[in-house]
Structure 1
Amino acid sequence: MSLVEIAYLAATAAEEKKAHNVTILDIRGISTIADYFVICHGTTERQVQAIVKNIRGKIQEANIPCLGIEGIREARWVLIDLGDVVVHVFHKEERDYYDLERLWGDAESLHVQ
């Protein structure tokens, strides 16, 4: 599975749990951190946890290694490290505050259905 397919898999899994404003940023050539960021948010801690759980399940089903998950307990900003794809699942307030799309404004935003 290609990296962009992994990003779309994570985005689709997030949408299945009604994540809001799911965005994929192509940061290749802009950063060495990763190739793609998937960014989304939920409106409650419980929804953020459900989004993360669904993404983790879909990733495991596809046999994609997950290098780590941080922030799940607090469920305010959860980072899922899939190597060259990094998924950020925010609580809405944190997403508004950190505004990663603005920080990575040079990145191309890929269409998520």
Structure 2
Amino acid sequence: MKQRKNKEVSSQDLSQLVVKGMIEKKGQDVAILDLRQVKNAIADYFVICSGTSDTQIDAIADSVEFEVHKAIAEDPWHKEGKENREWILIDYVDVVAHVFKKDRRQYYDIEELWGDAERTLIEETAA
């Protein structure tokens, strides 16, 4: 069974660090899906955002990793999608970040797939 190294940081706090990394690079339509009450959920939280270009998607993913590592010295357990840059997944075990190209997000529609989850939309702030 996979486990995070830094168990002192709650999954909720980790999800906020992921959001910070996404907002830092202007991730769009940032949403947190709270899966803790969803039967058979594979994580506590999904944090999802969209980007408009390959370059931005790559930058958002790098920013997420940077913010999490800077704050709690934790590296992802698993990541994939960096090569094609249409859907980059960064798995921190309890929290999974999904960085989508806008059309791919609509196509896969994981918010609908996990429709039982409590969904929180993050207001975009002017930086």
What's the TM-score once normalised by structure 2's chain length?
Answer: 0.84
Does the 8 Å CA contact 2:29/2:50 hold for their aligned counterparts? yes
Give the match for residue 91 of structure 1: 101
SS at match of 1:39: strand
**Any idea what the Cα deviations from partners look like across 1:25-67, whole Å, max 9, x if unmatched?**
0011313310100000101111000000111111111212310
SS at match of 2:112: helix
Give the match for residue 75 of structure 1: 85
| Match runs of 1:47-62 below 5 Å | 47-61=56-70, 62=72
Give the match for residue 3 of structure 2: none
Residue identity over aligned pairs, in percent, reads 42
**Structure 1 consecutive aligned stretches of length 4 or more whose deviation exceeds 3 Å:** none
Q: How many pairs are equivalent?
A: 113
Aligned AA (1:35): D
SS at match of 1:75: coil
SS at match of 2:26: coil
**Which residue among 25, 29, 46 is the counterpart of 1:37?**
46
Q: Which runs of 5 or more structure 2 residues have no equivalent in the other structure?
A: 1-8
Aligned AA (2:11): L
Give the superposed CA RMSD: 1.2
Give the match for residue 5 of structure 2: none
What displacement does 1:69 show?
1.2
What's the TM-score once normalised by structure 1's chain length?
Answer: 0.94
